[in-house]
């Protein structure tokens, strides 16, 4: 798609990236091709993991994030019947989660960027990615847009670049619905999940997949190595900071990065900061802020 710009934010690499195989050498499991098909060496050399915030170059995506239609979604009180073959628990989970997910828009004199976030508590705190708010630098203006189209000014409470987590605060906490956080010990490989956010400025977007792996080592900006939840739910630029939720509508991670080939979009390998670590970082930033 033209006019949407390229993914922005810090570059992320898997821990094996620095030792990527030379042409002719078989790649390790982290870069293996699907069974029965081998990726060319040039493609393997281009595999990287990148941040997902939509940057200043994404003019069309940025404009699309202006949610002025006022269409809100009420939390579900009971799981609706299956629709089009989609499990009813995922339909109910989406209905419960959407009111607590926001589009994060950063404006500066030179442009800005956008990403996603979710309501962390009842005091107006919102969790997102550090690389989303870093687009604003000093003097940037940050606005969050709820599922009902309401715009609220936000301030940065604190950031943790090593974990790619940031906490925002809005004054009107009553306007937002807090999301439930999952028990991290209950997350299982293979369970269904939803990635929720504003890819390319398209707010309220929900995509489905599964937990592909737990404790996957990735490199978050610079040389910091952290473990992440790996998923095949489609996440794209602008999903940064949005929640990865289970079928009960509980947050299991904060969408942070995707693997990509030759600078392209999602190839079905995405990563999220595990919710337990995100919660600990957020609590610490709030306590200091």
pLDDT for 137-155, tens place per residue? 666 799 999 988 999 999 9
Give residue 50's pLDDT. Answer: 60
Active-site residue 131, yes or no?
yes
> Stretch 157-182: mean pLDDT, rounded?
92
Q: Can you give the pLDDT at residue 173? A: 81
What is the structure's pLDDT at 61?
Answer: 30
Of 14, 147, 240, 266, the catalytic one is 240
Which pLDDT value is given to residue 172?
Answer: 86
Question: Which one is predicted more confidently, 54 or 77?
Answer: 54
Across the range 200-211, mean pLDDT stands at 93
Least confident span in 90-94, 106-110, 167-171, 237-241: 106-110
Residues in contact with 64: Cβ distance below 8 Å, sequence separation at least 6, in sequence order: 200, 201, 202
Q: Give 48's pLDDT tier (boundaries 50, 70, 90).
A: low
Top pLDDT among 222 and 243 is at 243
Q: What is the pTM of this model?
A: 0.73
Burial of 18 (0-12, 13-18, 19+ CB in 10 A): exposed
Q: Helix, strand or coil for residue 263? A: coil
> Is 249 in contact with 255 (CB distance < 8 Å)?
no
DSSP 157: E
Res 128: pLDDT: 97
Euclidean distance between the first and the last CA atom of the chain, given in angstroms as a whole number: 40
Domains of the chain: 1-20+39-69+79-289 (2.40.10.120)
Q: How far apart are CA 4 and CA 152, in angstroms?
A: 25
The 10s digit of each residue's pLDDT in 268-283 is 899 999 999 999 999 9
Q: Which of 19-33, 34-48, 231-245 has the lowest mean pLDDT?
A: 19-33
Least confident span in 10-14, 86-90, 196-200: 10-14
Identified catalytic residue from 103, 114, 131, 232:
131
Measured between alpha carbons, how far is 196 from 78 in angstroms, rounded to an integer? 20
> Is pLDDT of 22 > 50?
no
**Could you read off the pLDDT of 73-113 as tens digits, one per residue?**
444 445 555 445 556 689 999 999 999 999 999 988 777 78
Catalytic site includes residue 13:
no
Contact 242, 196 (CB under 8 A): yes
**Which residue is catalytic, options 164, 177, 234, 266?**
164
For residue 240, indicate whether it is catalytic: yes
């Amino acid at each position: 798609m033209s006019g949407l710009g390229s993914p922005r934010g810090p570059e992320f690499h898997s821990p094996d990236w620095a030792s990527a195989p030379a042409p002719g050498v078989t790649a390790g499991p982290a870069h293996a091709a699907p069974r029965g098909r081998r990726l060319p060496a040039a493609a393997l050399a281009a595999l990287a993991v990148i941040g997902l915030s939509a940057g200043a170059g994404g003019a069309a995506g940025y404009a699309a994030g202006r949610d002025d239609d006022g269409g809100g979604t009420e939390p579900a009180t009971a799981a609706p019947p299956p629709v089009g073959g989609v499990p009813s628990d995922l339909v109910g989970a989406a209905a419960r989660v959407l009111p607590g997910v926001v589009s994060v828009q950063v404006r500066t004199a030179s442009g800005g960027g956008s990403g996603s976030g979710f309501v962390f508590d009842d005091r107006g705190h919102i969790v997102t990615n550090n690389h989303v708010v870093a687009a604003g630098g000093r003097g940037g203006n940050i606005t969050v847009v709820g599922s009902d189209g309401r715009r609220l000014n936000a301030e940065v409470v604190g950031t943790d670049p090593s974990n790619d987590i940031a906490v925002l605060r809005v004054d009107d906490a009553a306007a937002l619905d807090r999301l439930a956080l999952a028990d991290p010990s209950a997350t299982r490989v293979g369970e269904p999940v939803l990635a929720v956010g504003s890819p390319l400025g398209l707010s309220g977007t929900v995509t489905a997949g599964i937990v592909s792996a737990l404790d996957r080592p990735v490199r978050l900006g610079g040389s910091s190595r952290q473990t992440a939840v790996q998923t095949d739910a489609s996440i794209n630029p602008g999903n940064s900071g949005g929640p990865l939720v289970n079928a009960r509508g509980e947050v299991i991670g904060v969408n942070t990065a995707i693997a990509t080939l030759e600078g392209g979009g999602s190839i079905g390998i995405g990563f999220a900061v595990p919710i337990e670590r995100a919660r600990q970082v957020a609590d610490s930033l709030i306590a200091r802020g």
